[in-house]
Structure formats: C-alpha cells, structure tokens
Amino acid sequence: MTKEEALGKLQKVIDEIAALQRMPRKSPEFEKWQRDTRVTIERIFPDQPNHLHDFDSVSYSLGVIRRSDFRGRGGTSEAEFQTAYVNGLDKARAILQSMSDEVQDYWKNESAASMLLATDSGGLWDLIHPKIAEVARSRFESNHLADAVEASLKKVNAVVKAKVRNATGKELDGSGLMTTAFSVQNPVIELDDLGIESGKSIQQGYMQIFAGAMTGIRNPKAHDNINIDEKRAIHLLFLASLLMYKLDEAR
C-alpha cells in the first residue's frame, strides 16, 4: 500500500467519527465502522499488531454501571452510556490520528521507482539487462544505491575492455577505452552501418555516451562518497542497461 493510499484510508475512518457521535450507541453504522477500521489497520500495518491492539483497547461503554433501586431510580442513565460512547470515539479518533501522523512522518513517499520494484509485476529487474541486474540488484535492494550504479558501469567497462583486449591486445580503461572501442574511423566495436552518415552519427553519439558515462558518472562514484536517491539511481541503472543492450546489438 502506498503512503497516499494509507493516509486516505485512515482519514476516511477518522472523518466518519463525527457522524457516529451524533447517532445512538450500538447503531449498525457504528458496528460497520468498527469492523471497517479494524480491517484498515490490519491492511496498513500488517506486521505491527500493537496498532490493532491499541484500537481494540478503546472502550465505548462505562466501566462501572449503577443498578436501579426497587423503584427503578438511581441507575446509570442512557445519557451517561451515550457520553461514554462519544468519549470512546474521541479516544479512537486520537489513536487513528496518531497512526496517520506515523504514516505521514515515517513512510517514504511512493515513487515511480517503488512502483517499478513491485514484485507482482516483475518490476524494474525485468526491464534491466541481465548482466546489470546481476551486479546491481542486491546492492540496490540493500539501499547501496551509488554502489549499485558504480558496479553497473564497471560491468559495462569490463565488457568493452574484454572486446578491445581480444581484438587489439591493448589494456585500456574508462573514457580512453570507449573512444578507442567506438571510434568512427577505426572502430573495434561497430554499432551501426558506418558506410552511411546516419550510421556514423550513431557510432559517434554512442561513443560520446559511453565515454561520458565513464568520466561523468563512474569515476566520481568510484572516487567520492556520493549519495544519490532511489529515483536517480534507477535513471542511471537504465543508462547502464541501455549501453549493455547496445553492445549486444553490435555488428
């Protein structure tokens, strides 16, 4: 459940309390509200039973009831029962508002990133190149986001390095490796038909993207303690994945 959905569901049951307080106690509407609220709490906090316990501990009746005398006088009045019911709803409102505040303050905002990671749809990792997922997934899911990005670009670098080494015997790295590998004039790895202008443009453009990814992303991540958020990490994982898929398409 997303943060927005949880807040909406809690606010709904909170908003219903005012109308319930104007109704007689033990109304069908109260019984339904109580059940709906229990289900809401269970769904929002499935691993925190204390939340449901707090709600269930609310009493909507009196702890002590006076008996009437033989003339039917002196017993607890209906107004007193109704007051206890209204006070119980006030207490329930305070508990539910505390739960809402907890969600507001401590739950992460739902993002496109979180939706991509949904396990029921395969999510992010079905879209990422398998070689990138292999080195990035455990790091990403452990919240080592910059490390996941660095490992992904190192994997791209390693694949290109092996191709260049096998073809030329040269041991190159980083930006220099990429300009050698994807040179328009003398390429080790051809990404398109270099006999036509559009093919040359694609080769030149990807050479710059490969080289820029090493200089502008991999190297800073490797040498500095840079923090990035989940959304930016996913953007960069998709970049690494795109580069790896482009290598698969090489001629």
Nearest to 174 by CA among 185, 184, 160, 163: 160
List, for residues 19-51, the tens digit of each pLDDT value: 999 999 989 999 999 999 999 999 999 989 999
Are 67 and 163 within one domain? Answer: no
How many separate helices (H) and strands (E) can be counted in the chain? 13, 0
- Altogether, the residues listed in the chain come to a count of 251
Q: Please identify, among 106, 130, 149, the residue that sits at the C-terminal boundary of a domain.
A: 106
- Domain contains 170: yes
Contact 124, 117 (CB under 8 A): yes
Please check whether residues 240 and 126 belong to one and the same domain: yes
Same domain, yes or no: 102 and 124: no
- Total count of domains within the chain: 2
Is 41 part of any domain?
yes
- Cα–Cα distance between 110 and 131 in angstroms, integer? 27
**C-alpha closest to that of 192 among 211, 206, 175, 210:** 206
The answer to the question of residue 113 being in a domain is no
- How many angstroms separate the CA atoms of 244 and 251, rounded? 14
Does 176 lie in the same domain as 96? no
Q: Is residue 112 part of a domain?
A: no
Do 159 and 66 belong together in one domain? no
Domain of 241?
119-248
pLDDT digits (tens, 9 = 90+) for 101-125: 999 998 877 555 555 555 444 578 9
* Judgement on whether residues 98 and 125 belong to the same structural domain of the protein: no
Q: Using N-to-C axis directions, what is the helix angle for 174-181 and 197-213, rounded to 10°?
A: 170
Band (pLDDT 50/70/90 cuts) for residue 187 is: very high
Verify that 46 and 153 share a domain, yes or no.
Answer: no
The burial of 132, by beta-carbon neighbours within 10 Å (0-12 exposed, 13-18 middle, 19 or more buried), is given as: buried
pLDDT the model gives residue 116: 59
pLDDT computed for residue 119 by the predictor: 45
What is the model's pTM? 0.55
9-23, 72-86, 160-174, 204-218: lowest mean pLDDT where?
72-86
Residue at 235 is within a domain: yes
